[in-house]
Amino acid sequence: KLEQTAIASPKGLADVQLGEVFMSYGLPDKAIAAAKRGLKKGGLPDTDDAWMLIGRGQIAKKNGAEARKAFSQVKGKDLGSIARLWTIYASKL
């Protein structure tokens, strides 16, 4: 039901939140797909959370190059420093 609601929503926030749920259940592919869908829909108060989720999903898949690409999209000051740390970790994969 949560997935259907997120997909039906015209704005992307529900998709990104659903992606966090998928990530918490160890489903990085579904988490990445949901976050990308949320970015595509738009209407997000901030895209940094979605990009962080995509990056973490790629880390879980041991895909360092894709993780670094996602983390490079994080622009905010707060999450930017965390994204830089994740980027260092991703470069070791």
DSSP readout, 19-38?
A: HHHHHHTT-HHHHHHHHHHH
Both tokens assigned to 46: 């901030």
Where does the pLDDT of residue 1 fall: very low under 50, low under 70, confident under 90, or very high at 90 and above? confident
Rounded to 5°, the CA angle 66-22-89 comes to 35
Where does the pLDDT of residue 2 fall: very low under 50, low under 70, confident under 90, or very high at 90 and above? confident
Number of domains observed in the structure of the chain: 1
Both tokens assigned to 69: 């690409």
Model-level pTM greater than 0.85?
Answer: yes
Burial of 18 by CB count in 10 Å (0-12 exposed, 13-18 middle, 19+ buried)?
buried
CATH number of the CATH domain containing 82: 1.25.40
Range of the domain at 12: 2-90
